[in-house]
Every structure is written in C-alpha cells, then in structure tokens.
Structure 1
Amino acid sequence: MGKYITQETFDNVVWENIKEFEMSSKEAVKDAVEQFLAQGVDLSKVLKDAKYYENQNDDSIKMEVQTIMDTLKNANQNFNDASLTKTLCNFKNICDTGLPERCLFSELGACKILMQLISFASKQVLLDALLETFAAYVNQQPDVVDEDDIKVFISLFQGSCQNIVDSVSCSELTFYSCYKRPYYYSWEIISLFLDETCNLVTHVCRVLCALVRDDDVRVPFGQSYQHALSICKDCLAIQILLNSLQTWKSDEKVCSEIFVCLSTLCVCEDICMQVSEANGIILVFDVFVNRLNTNKKSHLIKSGLQLLKCLCGSDKIKRQIMEYDGGAQMVVELMEQNISNPDICEIACLLIASLALRHAEHGRKMVQECNAQHVICKAMVKHLQAAPVQRACGMAIRNVISRNENLIDCFLELDVEILLRKALEIHKEKCRDEIVYALRDLRCSVQLREMWTGTGKNLNQ
C-alpha cells in the first residue's frame, strides 16, 4: 500500500514554503511535491496546481466544494427546489476536473450524502441528475462505496431498463465501483442482456470487463480467472453476449464492445470452446463480411481480430477458423484494406502468427492461397517506424515458415530480408528477438549474441 496525505497536510507545507522561505507559489508547490515524493507519498489525490496558492486568502475551490456539500446536507425530502439540480451539475463539473477534486468531496463525506438523496429521490429529473453526478464522483474512487451501495445501484439498474439515462448512469456507477475492486458481480446485471429492448449492451460490457480485471494491488493474488469462469459458466454470459451480438450486429459500437468483452472473458480453453460451440466464430465473420471494402470501421475490425486471436489459444478453434469458408482470406483482406492502420496490421499479423503456430498446413494456406506474404511485407514498408508492427510481422513470418521451408523463397523474393534488417537497425532491442528468429528461419545470416558468460558466481552479462 502506498502512503497518502490529506489535502490539508500538503497545503500546510506549501504555505510554509511561501511564508517562511518566501518562495513563489510555483516554487513552493514544486518543493512540496519533491519532499513528499522523496518520502514515497502518493500525491495522485492531492491538488497541486500553483494557482490555488497565489493569493493567501483565495481558497476558491475548497470554498466551492464546501458550499456544494452544505447545500446537499441541508436538502430534505422535498425536492421542489430547482437549485438542487443546478448544485448537482456544479458538483459533476468539479468532479470531471480530476481525481484530487473528487477526493475533496470524499473528505467531506459526499458518498453518504449522495446515497441518502438517491434513496429519497422520487422525481425522475432529480434522480437522473443524482445518478450522473454519482457516476462522475465515484470514478477512480472505488473505496468510497461499499457492498450495500453497489446493491442499490444494481437494484436501480434492474428497474430502469426503460429509462436510458438511468440505466447508463447505473451501469457506469457499477463499473466505477468495481474499478480496482473486482469482487462484486451479479447475475442480475448480466441477465439484462436477455431484454432485447434494453439498448445498454456497451455499458454492461464495460461492467463485465471491470469485474474480471486484476488491478487491485491490495490483494496478493487476483481472482479474475475465477470470476471469468463464474460469469461464463454460472451466469451463461457467453450465450447472452452472442445473442446480443446477433441482435446488434449492424451497430459498430455495440459489436466492438461485445468483442472486447468476449476477449476479456476468454481466459481458458473451456470458455473459448463455449464461444465456438455457440457459433461465435461464424458471427464474428458475419460482422466482418459487412465491413469489407470499407475503412470506416477500424475499431470494430481491430476488436474482432483481437477476439479471434484470443480464441486461437485453442488448437481446435484454429482449425475451425482456417476451415471456415473464406475465413483466412478475409483476415488477409481486412489487413490489406486497412494497411494504413498500424493497430490493425499488428493484430492481424499476430493472428496469422497464432494460426500458423505449430500448424504447417495453416502456414501453407496463408501463403499459397491467401498471399499473406505480400500483405505482411506491405505492412513492414508502411509502418517501418512502428516497433509493435515490425515485431508482429517478424512473428508471423517466423511461424509461417518454421515448418514450411519450401515457403522461404516466397518471402525472400519480396526482399523481406532487407525489410527485417532495416527494422532491426531502427528499433534494435524493441523487436530484436522476433526479427532475429525470422531471419534465422529464413536461413539468412544472423549474429547471435551470447548473453551470459562464465559459470557459477562469475556470470557476466
């Protein structure tokens, strides 16, 4: 756990620098930051803007926060006062500024007050404002809410499917509440997918991704794997997600979020096979078919290729992808049509590398039937300065030819050796291993380095 200090402690040091050592506000803040960082203090939740210290009597941000909190504290069950909605709008705007501002509200007990107002709110307009404000406030502050609060969000979420504003806010609340705390998940959230009138798939996908993210540094071992298994097996999430994909396959944003969510959930072969057995691969290619010959859907194509890459952890699914009519050709065509997009080139090459890994026949098909070698070389030329693309291309080349020596000339005649050596010269260690392995398997001259010499305690790098 990192060390934290309150805003008041930081302010006292800054004012001491200004008054005792006659520093300017910028110098005082800089010195205070350096002092605390040297002590290992995390200052991410502290306001550090010098403008707040230019006038000794100017405490505007704190005064504004205090005024907002006083207004909310004095609010009762009579919500006829239109100024309350305006106050919540100001609250949200300050929270959107950054984490330190949100922490100021936390120090004044904002969570408890907002939860009380939510429980009392009967007017739809006010409830909308409260939920949107709370969603902005709780962002990156998972510890301000507890399990009971999350149950309230889920309860509101269940009852708000016909109100898009409420539903979006509730899903965002649940997402931010689970941020760095992936131990709350519920069948009630996932079951909302079954209602095809509820157009909230993108938001619920974000919640599911948050639930299986291992980013809580406070626990020695994360449980994302167990959570993913529970969500997929106990809650039937894969089938529900694929049903939603079928329903919304014409919507780029929804499809992209579902692809990302499925990629996150596919943590083992059993789950990958669930996707396959539910015709998930066919659905992915169906979505791709409608996006051929267009470069306007790059995020969708990238997330779809990423999903196929995740599924390639299973040899059975590799074969299914390669046996799908036109599947391999479609991957190459999508890469070629989006050759100017480095992200798509990278993930497409990684997918080709995964498909060809330990499968000689897949490598042969990629070259002899799909002409993947031409597109790979085009990507290397187009993105010579992009190390991730060069690394992915090196992996694809190596995996395709490692069990197909007869395909070496198909690459060499395209001057791939020159491209690989240029990439190695430009990026050096960033992609050295992948490039050297590709050159080695192409039977080109490579200089292998002996990383360690000596024996026992006398090892030298």
Structure 2
Amino acid sequence: MSFSEQCRGQVSSRYLAAEKGAYPVVLSACQRAVTEDQGFLVKALNALAALTEGQPDLLDPKGLQLLVDTLKQHLGVAEVTCSGLRCIRHVCLKHEQNRQNLVRAGILPLLTGTIERHSCRANVVKEACSALRVMTFDDDIRVPFGHAHDHAKMIVQENKGLKVLIEAAKAFPDNPTLLGELCATLSRLAVRNEFCQEIVDLGGLKIMLTLLADCFDHPELVRQVLSVLRAIAGNDDVKDAIVGAGGTDFIVMAMTRHLSSPQICEQSCAALCMLALRKPDNSRMIVEGGGALAALQAMKTHPKEVSVQKQACLLIRNLVARTQAFSQPILDMGAEKLITEARATHQECDDVAKAALRDLGCKVELRELWTGEKGDLAL
C-alpha cells in the first residue's frame, strides 16, 4: 500500500506520519518534482494532500510558496492542477492563517483563472470551486474573527468570481455533481446587496430556476440551488424577481417532492422566509401557492429536526407579520399545535416560536427579563 493510501485510510495513520517527520520529506519530493517529472509531481502532491487532510498546521512558508508556484507553472496541466487544488483545500480548511497567507500570495486569481482555463474539464472545475469556497469559510475557532467576508468581496470584485462560476454552470448543464459545487460556491459569494443583483443580471436566477425545475431527481443539487435562492433573496429587488419568475412555486414543489429530506425542507422554508420578509405581496403568493401548508407538513414530518422547526416558525411569522388576514387560514391548517410542540421540544425554537404564535394572534406568555428597575445585588 502506498503512503498516500495509508494516509487517506485513517486519521491515526496521517497523525503518526506527521509525528515521525513525513511533512518535510514529502515537501522535498514535491520541490524536486516541480521542475522535473510531471507524473511524479502528481504523486508527490497527492501524498501532500493526503498528509495535510485534517492537519493544516503542517503547512509552512516553503509549502505555501510551493503550492502557489505549482499552480502558476502548471496551470495548463489538468492532473497537476487538480492535485495542487486538493492540497490548497486541505491546508485552508479550519485554518484562517493559511487562508490569509495564501490570499496575500495571490491564490484567488489563480483559482478563478483555473476555472476559466479548464472550462471543459469537470474534475478541475470541481476542485477549483471547492478551494475557492473554502476561502470564504469562517471555521477556525482559534481566531476571534476571520476574513471570510473580505475574501468573498475580493473573489467577486477583483477576480470576476460570479461571472466565472455562472459561465461554468452554463458549460455543464448535465453534470449535477459539479452544478451542486458551483451553486454551493455561489451562495457563499452572495454577501452584499449588489452581488445578489449581479447574480441575477448575469443570468444566474434563470439557471437556478431551470435547475430546480429539471433536476428534481438530484436532491443534493436541489438543496444547493435552494441555498443560492435563499442567499440572493437578501436583496429586496431580487426577492421580487424570484417571485415574478415563478420561484415560489418551484420552491414549494421542491419541498413537497422531497418532504422526507430535512435538509431540503430547511432550505425551502428558509428561502420562502427570505422572500416573505417585508413583502406582503410575496407572502400572499406563498400562501396561495401552498407554501404555508408545505412548511407545516415539514414540521409534522421532522419533529426532531430543530433546523426545520426553526425555519418553518420563522416563515409562518414572516407570512403573517404584515398581513393578519393570513393568520386564521394558517391556524386552520394546525399551525398553533405544531409551533407549540416545536417550542416545547427545542429550546432553540423558543423565541421564534413565541414570535410566530404572537403574530398569529395566539395567547402566548411573553416573560419580561428585566424591567430596568434598580434592585439589591447579592455578591
């Protein structure tokens, strides 16, 4: 069994290899191979990727420079690029400092450039999307705050990230796995009002709704498309564009079709919740299109899934907050019982459930946590 296979097999094997000094040996092999044999370079990079998975602290300045140089020098070689991208993803996952160092070293234009350069190679585009997406994570608990938002802005504003991803989506209409990666990355970049609008202007909304209509047999892709709609609906003008294009019907259809999937139910409710926020006309479309009923069915189907219960409560609240006329029809669907059960079962749902019950006109005890009055303090 090869070193790479040993490291990929078990976490303990990777940890033992690192403890015994494998990193400098593997790095040295990569450095020698950069200017020599491409076939050996692929094997060396695969070993480095396997070793650093879950061990991003192993990366040192020499390794970082190697990864940047490898992508620069071998951008046209698909296999080498794939292996290098995998290394970048592994050393950046849950490691904020590595992300920032790589961004400063110029990795972002190399990642978007890879997608453009290899626009016909699904495996390369997939790896590049994954690496690009990791740059927008804020998952390192060792730092008080990260640069996820700044990195997302740089990808969009300085490296044409949205256009690159949407063009790639157009090139692979029949590859659900890759489309899911592209959608997951797009949703991470919709961090500003103007970025949401740009996705629509570039044809992204049309692509998302087409995928939602045509790819019902691919649950993971459906979930990722819903996450994009949820993200871009943060823009009020985009909300109206989604509803105007029939988006609410597609979302309700997706939730009804995949009612057994808590992930799809959560994302569907969250997307509808965003569309209803501050938009009474959109709320009417959602209620008349069966959105409220589908959300309550999701609550009934997944009573133990706190994320589903929470998003459904938020949706119900948004639907009735500015249109009290919807309260009684939704109560007639059994909303009060389901929301009350969610509140009793999940502590995380307490606030949103109370808000939903209050706006539905139900009797709910709102406890005053502090009156502002000075009292005796006991130390």
> TM above 0.5, one fold?
yes
**1:219–1:389 Cα change, 3 Å:** closer
Match of 1:175 among 67, 77, 89: 89
Instruction: Measure, in 2, the Cα distance between the counterparts of 1:220 and 1:404.
Output: 41
Q: Which residue of 2 aligns with 1:282?
A: 206
- 2:332 matched to which residue of 1? 413
Q: CA deviation at 1:148?
A: 4.1
Q: Give, in whole Å, the separation in 2 of the partners of 1:444 and 1:203.
A: 50
Supply the distance in 1 between the matched residues of 2:186 and 2:340 (Cα, whole angstroms).
37
Distance 1:405 1:191, change over 3 A: same
Pairing 1:231–2:148 present = no
Shift, 1:252, TM fit: 1.0
Mapping for residues 48-87 of structure 1, pairs under 5 Å: none
Structure 1 position 305, deviation (Å): 0.7
User: Hey, what's the Cα distance between the residues in 2 that align with 1:454 and 1:447?
Assistant: 20
SS of residue paired to 2:99: coil
CA distance in 1, matches of 2:260, 2:356: 23
For 2:270 and 2:372, locate their aligned partners in 1 and report how far apart those are by CA, in whole Å: 37
1:191 aligned residue (100, 103, 113): 113
1:71 corresponding residue in structure 2: none
CA contact (8 A) 1:453 1:459 kept: no
- Aligned residue for 2:309? 390
* CA drift at 1:167: 3.0
Contact residue 182 and residue 224 of structure 1 kept, 8 A: no
Tell me the equivalent position of 1:114: 26
Task: State the 1:197 CA deviation.
Answer: 2.5
Unpaired segments of 5 or more residues in structure 1? 1-85
Provide the residue aligned with 1:315 in structure 2: 236
Corresponding residue of 1:333:
253
In 1: Cα distance, 2:301 partner to 2:139 partner = 35
How far does residue 391 in structure 1 lie from its aligned partner after superposition? 1.3
Aligned residue in 1 for 2:365: 447
1:210 to 121, 127, 134: 134
Q: 2:292: which partner in 1?
A: 373
With over 3 angstroms needed to count, the CA separation of the structure-2 counterparts of 1:162 and 1:236, relative to structure 1, is closer
- Give the structure with the higher percent helix: 2
1:217 CA displacement: 5.0
Q: How far is 1:154 from its partner?
A: 3.6
Match of 1:139 among 53, 70, 88: 53
Q: Is the 8 A contact 2:199 2:205 kept in 1?
A: yes
Q: What's the CA shift for 1:127?
A: 2.8
Aligned equivalents of 2:18 and 2:345: distance in 1?
49
Alpha carbons 1:154, 1:189 under 8 Å: kept: no
Q: Is the 8 A contact 1:192 1:198 kept in 2?
A: no
Report whether the alignment pairs 1:456 with 2:371.
Answer: no
345, 352, 357: which one aligns with 2:272: 352
Secondary structure in 2 aligned to 1:420? helix
The residue aligned with 2:192 is: 268
Moved more, 246-255 or 156-165: 156-165
The answer to whether the Cα contact below 8 Å between 2:92 and 2:99 also exists between their aligned partners in 1 is: yes
**Residues 309, 105 of structure 1: alpha-carbon distance in 2 compared, 3 angstrom cutoff:** same
Aligned to 1:435: 353
Structure 2: state its 5+ residue gaps.
none
Number of the residue aligned with 1:127: 41
Post-superposition Cα deviations, 1:222-246, rounded to whole Å, max 9, x if no partner, equal 2222211111111111100000011
Shift in Å, 1:201: 1.7
Separation (CA, whole Å) in 2 of partners of 1:116 and 1:386: 48
| Superposed CA offset, 1:438-458 (max 9, x none) | 111111111222333673354
1:104 and 1:216 map into 2 onto residues whose CA distance is 23
d(CA) in 1 for partners of 2:4 and 2:314? 50
Equivalent AA in structure 1 for residue 284 of structure 2: R
Q: In structure 1, give the amino acid aligned to 2:299.
A: M
CA offset digits 1:175-203 (Å, max 9, x no partner)? 12223121113212211111323321221
User: 1:220: how far off?
Assistant: 4.7
Structure 1 counterpart of 2:263? 343
Kindly tell me the number of residue pairs found equivalent between the two proteins.
Answer: 366
Query: How big is the shift at 1:386?
Result: 2.0
User: 1: CA distance between counterparts of 2:302 and 2:41?
Assistant: 50
Partner AA of 1:311 in structure 2: I
Q: What SS class does the counterpart of residue 431 from structure 1 fall into?
A: helix
Out of 155, 179, 199, which is 1:255 matched to?
179
Q: Is the 8 A contact 2:135 2:151 kept in 1?
A: yes
Mean alpha-carbon deviation: is it higher for 405-414 or for 213-222?
213-222
Q: Determine the C-alpha separation between the residues in 1 that align with 2:176 and 2:75.
A: 22
Per the normalisation by structure 1, the TM-score is: 0.74
Structure 1 window deviating more from structure 2 (160-169 vs 331-340): it is 160-169
